[in-house]
Amino acid sequence: MELLWALLLCLAGGSAARLDDTGGRLGRSLLTSNDFQYTGSAGGKGSGNGQFNGPFGMAVAADGNIFVADFYNTRVQKLNATGAYLGQIGNGQINAPFNAKIDSSGNIYVADYDSGGVQKFDSSYQYLGQLGTPGTGNGQFSQAIGLCLDDSDNLYVVDANTNRVQKFNSLGIFQWSSGSDGTGDGQFKKAYDCTVSGTTVYVTDTQNPRIQLVSTADGAFQSKFNLTDRGTFLVSAPDGSLFVSLVFAHTVQHLAADGTLLAVLSGQPEPTSFAPTGIAILQSDGGGAPLLVAVADTVTNTVSFFKRTL
């Protein structure tokens, strides 16, 4: 837990209250939002099938199965929508999986924190190769941690160390780079994760702290809105709303596309024993509003499930 906390602090900056590594949920009632209800969790600390040691970013396949980056176990695990273990990706081909995303063909992209690249696997978990090389040039990565895909399978990669987002087409060809170190519009202090909604890429700008919006076409700055704390992992729902992890505030916020707060997911009665990272939307209604959300928790090393009540 100490190594994990140090890594999160290094990436997001600053300090925070030390987390309580309880290893379980006994006596905890998760979620104080009026819109969602905690329904259960899967996992626990360990290296066995379905156990985690640092669950970070998540992806959802077309069939509803979940892929979870299991950082210190150097693998990505596959779970069904209720959290049952189905398989894993790794076998020495991933050094430090920080995030994962799946394209329309079922190919799995893994942001590999230590390799200076993004690893790609097909739907049968066969290794296809690495996107990018270590460095700071176009198509290179120093600290690839954030991933997102658009409807055309263009891949966007967030590099926390160089404070930029890079776009690659479905063939892995570099398209553009957006961002630099700073506090101005289009600049970042520890860019962390991204999600695409329509023609906009939303990027968590952790140390500033805010979410910035850039164009999918060319990476041009569009807009921004502030957060109440440092945002890390980020995902968009089909209705355009957002979920963002505020790991040091021990909450996940559900936001409208303009940043308006809609709901807060938090740990009770011990809020500091909830350290949310990756988020996945598993079900939505006919209008695209999220119905079922999964959240990775790096304190209990579990994936928790929350169902909308309204």
- Asked whether the beta carbons of 57 and 94 are under 8 A apart, the reply is no
The more confidently predicted of residues 10 and 38 is 38
Q: Is the pLDDT of residue 18 over 60?
A: no
Reply yes or no on whether the pLDDT at 43 is more than 60.
Answer: yes
- As a whole number, mean pLDDT of residues 292-303 equals 94
CA distance 173 to 292: 34
Q: What is the pLDDT of residue 10?
A: 61
Q: Is 127 left (phi over 0), alpha (psi -120 to 50) or beta?
A: beta
**For the residues 99-103, what does the mean pLDDT come to?**
98
Cβ atoms of 130 and 118 closer than 8 Å: yes
177 pLDDT higher than 90: yes
Token match 């906390």: residue? 5
| Model pTM above 0.75 | yes
Q: What is the pLDDT of residue 175?
A: 98
Torsion of CA 145, 148, 153, 155, to 10 degrees: -40
Helix and strand numbers, DSSP H then E, in the chain: 1, 26
- What is the per-residue pLDDT for 266? 74
In DSSP notation, 1-28 reads -HHHHHHHHHHH-S--PPP---SS-TT-
Tokens at residue 228, please?
């109440």
206-265 pLDDT, tens digit per residue, is 999 999 999 999 999 999 999 999 999 999 999 999 999 999 899 999 999 999 999 988
- Mean of per-residue pLDDT scores for the chain: 89
Report the alpha-carbon distance of residue 210 to residue 43 in Å, rounded. 31
Residue 306: which of 272, 257, 264 has the closest Cα?
A: 264
pLDDT exceeds 70 at position 23: no
CA distance 251 to 253: 6
CA 87 – CA 293 distance, rounded (Å): 21
Mean per-residue pLDDT for 137-158? 97
